[in-house]
Structure 1
Amino acid sequence: MTTKNTSSRGRWPLRSIRDLTGRTSAEPATGGVGTVVCVDGIDLHVRADGPVDGPALLMLHGFGASTAWFDQLVVRLPECRTIRVDLLGHGGSARPMTGYDPDSQGRLYARLLGELNLNEVTVVGHSMGSLFGVATAEYSTRITRLVLIGEGPDTSTGTLPPGEWMIHLPWIGPILQHHGPAFVTNRVVRRAFAPGFDMGTAFTDPRRGLDDARSLNHPAFTQSIKRRKAWTGRLGLDARLDELALPALVVFGREDRFYNVEAALTRYRAVPTITTAVLEQVGHTPMIEAPDHVADLIREFLSAGDKAAETSS
């Protein structure tokens, strides 16, 4: 569709302003290496790997990321049936104007599990994906265990990058998000890893971090952060996991630069169903920085659950 330019010569065309402000409206799914699945009229990009009869893992990536952030973990768990989803507003999934609060997303991914007819599912969430994983468990009995990677109980245990507030400003925010200097965005992405980590080993595509961070439309960016704070402010993840009473594994990197690791762990350790693990010399993204260790932790967690089930039967 073309837009007729009715501006007079010498003025900045209105269409140029629209182009500059970037993605401020709804957008359809674009798909990718997986399949686009329609759930209640919303298109989600979903990728499935591994044997259909393997232990089912629902992997939900973090804010500003994509399914690619689990690539290294998936190849180390070949015995599992891994279902990766580009979160709403991210990657190849649709980018609507609304629906970015944890409750809406929890219902959405719970219905996805029904569409895929998956049972006894273990959620593996990274960062903000952990919130949506907990929310999904609150809406679905198909989830039996949870693995949370790099996510505190609420925002009181974390910090956002300096200047993050500017992205929320009308007009200015979208311009900065989509057209700001690449080195600034890359600096924020780099903060998700421990100091000294070799970013050349993080992704197959060296532009992955930058492209994923810029992929969100502006409503997805601003609403996800605001709704997250309100949701965990009502009840933190530690309290929600306590109410769910499901086995949970919480994994942190000691060098996490988004969370106060000890403050977060103190709260999680007070919940009897939660097991915690801390990886030394690892930052906010353990499944990329230490994929072998994280895969072993998940495998042991699943095995412990299977043994417990055998004992009780």
Structure 2
Amino acid sequence: MSVDGVGLHVRADGPVDGPALLMLHGFGASMAWFDQVVARLPECRIIRVDLLGHGGSARPTSGYDPDSQGRLYARLLSDLDLNDVTVVGHSMGSLFGVATAEHTTRITRLVLMGEGPDTSTGTLPSGEWMIHIPWIGPILQHHGPAFVTKRVVRRAFAKGFDMATAFGNPAQGLEDARSLNHPAFTESIRRRQAWTGRLGLDARLDKLALPALVIFGREDRFYNVDASLARYRAVRTIMIAVLEHVGHTPMIEAPDRVAELIREFLSSGEKPETPLESADPRMKQP
């Protein structure tokens, strides 16, 4: 689709009258990272997008800051004439999901997976700084040793997770990591840090006052889970689910549990006054 003159790779699944979900994948990934969850939510109308600079979407030299991407995906929802939309974001896609909600009233709920309130609760892979070096960075990103890229992708999963079960295409992780253009790589990280530095996701969710579900894998290797959740727990509209034996990518490592959480969240109505939190796939009153 052309959205405000930008080419976006968009896919729609499910009945047109089903509950509307907008799924935004994480940094260096693609819409394929949601395949397993989509298959488990056949009753939903699911719109997936390859983020700007990723997969089959356009690769401009600018526009990678959260506000610009939020406006872009808000316009997409307008073009599709979708209302009462639940954003389901993973990692950096969660960030852009919140930014989208700040630019449209079509979003009424948010599901955020594996994303801390800001970069203070996260860690980047060692050597990541080298990718930002002009000339050298693009060569390393696109033509560096495959085993190095695969090691970074592997970090998105809990130790011991069987990577053979992650994707239908065994090379998906490597191909996605290498597909994004260099501006998308460098600018997304820089702009993200500045955006959350001004106001973290916890404070932004508090201002939005929309029901939100935050899902973390207990074995997330990109974020300090306890530090992140301590911030999110302070927001009245947020529910929390922590999945044991799961890493940074719950929708791939535990698709049954994630689909169940989303389904329960969609059917729960308004956010209750008493926060819900559970390490079990079923959200229960403590």
Q: Is the partner of 2:72 in helix, strand or coil?
A: helix
Structure 2 vs 1, CA of residues 119 and 195 (structure 1 numbering), >3 Å: closer, same or farther?
same
Please list every run of 5 or more consecutive structure 1 residues that lacks an aligned counterpart in the other structure: 1-36, 309-313
Matches within 5 A, 1:141-160: 141-160=105-124
Task: List per-residue Cα deviations over 1:15-74 (Å, max 9, x = no partner).
Answer: xxxxxxxxxxxxxxxxxxxxxx10110010000000000000000000000000000000
CA distance in 2, matches of 1:178, 1:298: 35
**RMSD value over aligned CA atoms?**
0.9
- 1:134 aligned partner: 98
Runs of 4+ in 1 over 6 A off after TM superposition: none
- Percent identical among aligned pairs is 84
CA distance in 1, matches of 2:217, 2:269: 24
Q: Which of 87, 92, 108 matches 2:56?
A: 92
Task: List per-residue Cα deviations over 1:114-156 (Å, max 9, x = no partner).
Answer: 0000000000000000000000000000000000000000000
Deviation at 1:95, TM superposition (A): 0.3
Matches within 5 A, 1:120-131: 120-131=84-95
Structure 2 vs 1, CA of residues 140 and 207 (structure 1 numbering), >3 Å: closer, same or farther?
same
Structure 2 vs 1, CA of residues 258 and 307 (structure 1 numbering), >3 Å: closer, same or farther?
closer
Q: Which of 224, 227, 230 matches 2:188?
A: 224
Deviation at 1:307, TM superposition (A): 9.5
CA distance in 1, matches of 2:254, 2:120: 26
Q: Which of 247, 253, 256 matches 2:211?
A: 247
Task: List per-residue Cα deviations over 1:284-306 (Å, max 9, x = no partner).
Answer: 00000000000000001001027
- 2:33 aligned partner: 69
Structure 2 vs 1, CA of residues 256 and 300 (structure 1 numbering), >3 Å: closer, same or farther?
same
Q: Is the partner of 1:305 in helix, strand or coil?
A: coil
1:200 counterpart letter in structure 2: A
CA distance in 2, matches of 1:105, 1:88: 8
Q: Which of 118, 134, 137 matches 2:82?
A: 118
Query: May I ask how many residue pairs the two structures share in their alignment?
Result: 272
Answer yes or no: is the 8 Å Cα contact 2:121–2:227 preserved in 1: yes
2:141 counterpart letter in structure 1: Q
TM-score normalised according to structure 2 size: 0.94
- 2:256 aligned partner: 292
Q: Is the partner of 1:48 in helix, strand or coil?
A: strand
TM-score normalised according to structure 1 size: 0.86
Please list every run of 5 or more consecutive structure 2 residues that lacks an aligned counterpart in the other structure: 273-286
Larger Rg: 1
